[in-house]
A and B are shown apart, each in its own frame.
Chain A
Amino acid sequence: GNSVTQMEGPVTLSEEAFLTINCTYTATGYPSLFWYVQYPGEGLQLLLKATKADDKGSNKGFEATYRKETTSFHLEKGSVQVSDSAVYFCARRGGSQGNLIFGKGTKLSVKP
């Protein structure tokens, strides 16, 4: 089964609202963790990553902290914009080098 679990969407927020998208994982050890973003009609793009416990990944105002105690990697942004509307995927490194295991994605819609 899928070892990355994301909160189900869609998530609808007003501009400048605070965003949290929950992500938890199951794994042996401490795999690298990632957030990818997919804008309409495009492929996935790496948003941020964390390679070890307690690391914080950040990019474009988004942040996520690798929490080994809760096996979580929640995505947060303090003030969302309409341009942040997209589908967000949490992922962890798989068992084989190079492989990633993705969550099902969470669609975010930001209204002006």
Chain B
Amino acid sequence: DAGVIQSPRHEVTEMGQEVTLRCKPISGHDYLFWYRQTMMRGLELLIYFNNNVPIDDSGMPEDRFSAKMPNASFSTLKIQPSEPRDSAVYFCASSPGDQPQHFGDGTRLSIL
């Protein structure tokens, strides 16, 4: 079975540009999570959705970050404008109800 699919795997762009990260959760999973991982701060929850509805976005760092889930099989995390301090690995995860989360392989983002 396909796991959580993230794209792109790597993204390098210049500061000020818009960045869009994509995630396809596992079919049938009603929860979707976006995390950011850095050496300094570890793994941080940014936002999560239940049945396509954002439940908690308190981890979103600032207004430059936005996330959407237009349907059960797709979510995006957008950064506009991007800054060098946004460089990190961004993970998407999904889960069915209160079962353990399944993680994608992440998007390694570098903002120059």
Contacts and interface: CB of A to CB of B under 8 A. Distances in A.
A and B, one complex? yes
Interface of A: 32, 34, 36, 41-46, 49, 89, 93, 96-105
B105 interface: yes
Interface of B: 4, 31, 33, 42-43, 45, 48, 50, 55-56, 91, 93, 95, 97-98, 100-106
A97 B42 contact: no
B43 A43 contact: no
B43 A97 contact: no
Given A43-B4, A102-B45, 6 more contacts: A44-B101, A46-B100, A97-B97, A99-B45, A101-B45, A103-B42
Chain B binding site: helix, strand, loop or mixed by DSSP?
strand
Nearest to B42: A104
8 contacts: A32-B98, A42-B105, A43-B106, A96-B55, A98-B33, A98-B48, A99-B33, A104-B42
B105 A43 contact: yes
Contacts, number: 53
B103 A43 contact: yes
Q: Which of B31, B50, B98 has the most CB of A within 10 A?
A: B98
Given A43-B91, A44-B91, A104-B42, A98 B31 contact: yes
A22 B98 CA distance: 25
A105 B42 contact: yes
Contacts of B48: 98-99
B56 A45 contact: no
A45 B97 CA distance: 17
Contacts of A46: 100-102
B43 A102 contact: yes
Contact of A96 (B42, B56, B91, B95): B56
Nearest to B98: A97
A98 B98 contact: yes
A99 B56 CA distance: 9
Contact of A89 (B43, B55, B102, B104): B43
